[in-house]
Amino acid sequence: MHEQIRRRCVRLGKLLIETKLTVRALANATGYSKSTVHKDLTERLPNVDPGLSQQVAEILAYHKSIRHLRGGEATRQKWKNENLAQKEDVKS
């Protein structure tokens, strides 16, 4: 594995631990694709830094355990915003 990829894996892992961002948010913040960030954190990082990888795995497991709640809240907000927009159209 190239040294640049090793450094990127460690940097992404440390950033995830500090910020507790989701993979998608971390990808947006760093400019890498979501697929690259996920692969770095789940497949490459255990070979580079197993201790850091364990901490990252715990955060990713937590995010996975609450994803249905985040999705439900996003849907609720979407419908709320659509209903507000429809009410404003009716008033206009």
Distance CA 45, CA 42 (A): 6
Determine, yes or no, domain membership for 8.
yes
Instruction: Give pLDDT, residue 87.
Output: 76
Angle between helices 23-30 and 3-19 (to 10 degrees): 120
Instruction: Give pLDDT, residue 82.
Output: 85
Determine, yes or no, domain membership for 36.
yes
Determine, yes or no, domain membership for 85.
no
Determine, yes or no, domain membership for 82.
no
Determine, yes or no, domain membership for 89.
no
Instruction: Give pLDDT, residue 23.
Output: 96
Instruction: Give pLDDT, residue 39.
Output: 97
Element (H, E) at 26: helix 23-30
Instruction: Give pLDDT, residue 34.
Output: 97
Determine, yes or no, domain membership for 90.
no
**Residues 26-82: pLDDT tens digits?**
999 999 999 999 999 999 999 999 999 999 999 999 999 988 888 888 888 889 888
Distance CA 28, CA 35 (A): 12
- What's the structural domain count of the chain? 1
Instruction: Give pLDDT, residue 92.
Output: 64
**24's tokens:** 């998608």
Above 90 in pLDDT, residue 19? yes
Domain boundaries, position 54? 3-66
Determine, yes or no, domain membership for 20.
yes
